[in-house]
């Protein structure tokens, strides 16, 4: 790569580029669009060569994980993800998780092929956020995406007790006090990702039906489709008391070490047929989208990583669910009420106009007589 400035300027450009790449990576459709030549998203700093800015990383070969650090230095860092997770007696009792708006059905749900995964985003008036679980503050949901294998023995990024699962979902959240994702990724506690493993079930998981059907419409990178909305709670395991916690990174370039990781011990279910639908997607390089998981990274100094346990399961989440549904219902009722009032107002105005007209006619008539 050729840079034509002084060292300081080059360093600035490098940082500027890195920030751009990070935001592009976190909003993967930007990258997907960019790769496909669209120009309506923010362009990279113009005086860097296209080749320099767009290193099209992959999971295999000369652009695979062992080469990521050549283009994204953070990928060679000391606190990288994923890692092997293991059981040990919990060190302390942790705060229970509290999930807000995870049970409310969004206004719309979009599925996007990002070129390296399939991403789900949600539109809703109140965005879901998570508290507790010893997270330092509230983290708001941004997107979720999946990692899966070419067969049912591989696919997950993390391993638990040396077991690799056929699929792992990542629910990405940013820390609310940082206001947006672009700012959050400048801080080591900027993101909280909740990871959940899938195991293979005999029966289809009905909660995944809409998503699985949607996959058929987004086989090519950059394609997106809105699907039948489902609540975010679809991707939480039933029990959230036991989990693994550690400080790590994004598992894709630019691999920033800004993630507070939580991987739940309890798993979700997916049938072999449902999982097979993921394998029909295509990577940016045109190959079948399979084995989109990064190899395990060294633990380094993170020696205290292991199974953790919350003091108690937040039974209250069921209460919240009811409350949120009530709120949604109340909202709906209020809207209907409002519509009724508006309609009554319109009718009243029409009636008044009719009366006024009749009076007018009566006055005209009186004049004539
Ligand atoms: Zn991921």
Distance 169 CA to ligand 1 centre (A): 7
pTM (two decimals): 0.76
Distance 18 CA to ligand 1 centre (A): 19
pLDDT level of residue 8 (50, 70, 90 thresholds)? very low
Looking at residue 53, its pLDDT comes to 57
Nearest CA to 212 out of 148, 290, 270 is that of 270
Q: Which fold has domain 78-314?
A: Carbonic Anhydrase II (3.10.200)
Q: How far apart are CA 116 and CA 57, in angstroms?
A: 9
pLDDT surpasses 80 at 21 = no
Percent of the chain with pLDDT over 90: 64
Domain boundaries of the chain, sorted by first residue: 7-74, 78-314, 317-369
Query: What mean pLDDT, rounded, does the chain reach?
Result: 84
Average pLDDT of 85-109? 89
Distance 90 CA to ligand 1 centre (A): 25
**Which residue has 């209907």 as its token pair?**
336
**Which residue has 């767009």 as its token pair?**
54
pLDDT surpasses 60 at 291 = yes
pLDDT surpasses 50 at 340 = yes
pLDDT surpasses 60 at 15 = no
pLDDT surpasses 80 at 361 = yes
Distance 188 CA to ligand 1 centre (A): 17
Distance 145 CA to ligand 1 centre (A): 6
pLDDT digits (tens, 9 = 90+) for 212-262: 999 999 999 999 999 999 999 999 998 898 999 999 999 999 999 999 999
Distance 78 CA to ligand 1 centre (A): 19
Distance 31 CA to ligand 1 centre (A): 16
Bridge partner residues of 257 (DSSP): none
According to DSSP, residue 51 is labeled H
pLDDT level of residue 366 (50, 70, 90 thresholds)? confident
Looking at residue 102, its pLDDT comes to 92
Looking at residue 317, its pLDDT comes to 58
Looking at residue 33, its pLDDT comes to 35
Looking at residue 10, its pLDDT comes to 39
Looking at residue 37, its pLDDT comes to 33
Looking at residue 325, its pLDDT comes to 67
DSSP H or E run through 121 = strand 118-123
With contact defined as beta carbons under 8 Å apart, do 242 and 307 qualify?
Answer: yes
């Amino acid at each position: 790569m050729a840079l034509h400035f002084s060292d300081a300027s080059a360093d600035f450009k490098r940082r500027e580029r890195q920030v751009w790449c990070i935001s592009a990576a976190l909003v993967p459709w930007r990258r997907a669009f960019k790769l496909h030549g669209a120009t309506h998203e923010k362009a990279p700093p113009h005086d860097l060569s296209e080749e320099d800015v767009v290193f099209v990383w992959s999971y295999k070969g000369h652009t695979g994980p062992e080469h990521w650090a050549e283009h994204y230095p953070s990928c060679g860092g000391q606190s990288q993800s994923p890692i092997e997770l293991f059981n040990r007696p919990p060190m302390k009792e942790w705060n229970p998780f509290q999930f807000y708006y995870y049970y409310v059905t969004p206004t719309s749900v979009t599925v996007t092929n990002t070129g390296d995964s399939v991403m789900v985003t949600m539109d809703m008036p109140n965005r879901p956020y998570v508290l507790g679980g010893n997270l330092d503050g509230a983290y708001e949901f941004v997107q979720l995406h999946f990692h899966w294998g070419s067969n049912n023995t591989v696919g997950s990024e993390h391993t638990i007790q040396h077991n690799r699962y056929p699929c792992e979902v990542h629910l990405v959240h940013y820390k609310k006090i940082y206001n947006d994702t672009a700012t959050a990724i400048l801080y080591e506690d900027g993101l909280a990702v909740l990871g959940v493993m899938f195991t293979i079930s005999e029966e289809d998981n009905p909660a995944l039906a809409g998503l699985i059907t949607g996959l058929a419409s987004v086989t090519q990178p950059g394609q997106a489709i809105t699907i039948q909305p489902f609540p975010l709670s679809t991707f939480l395991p039933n029990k959230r008391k036991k989990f693994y916690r550690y400080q790590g990174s994004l598992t894709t370039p630019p691999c920033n070490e800004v993630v507070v990781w939580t991987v739940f011990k309890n798993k979700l279910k997916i049938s072999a047929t449902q999982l097979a639908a993921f394998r029909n997607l295509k990577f940016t390089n045109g190959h079948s989208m399979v084995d989109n998981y990064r190899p395990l990274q060294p633990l380094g100094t993170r020696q205290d990583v292991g199974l953790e346990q919350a003091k108690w399961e937040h039974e209250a989440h069921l209460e919240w669910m009811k409350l949120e549904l009530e709120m949604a219902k109340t909202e709906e009722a209020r809207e209907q009420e409002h519509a009724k009032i508006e309609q009554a107002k319109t009718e009243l105005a029409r009636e008044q106009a009719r009366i006024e007209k009749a009076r007018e006619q009566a006055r005209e008539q009186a004049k004539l007589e």
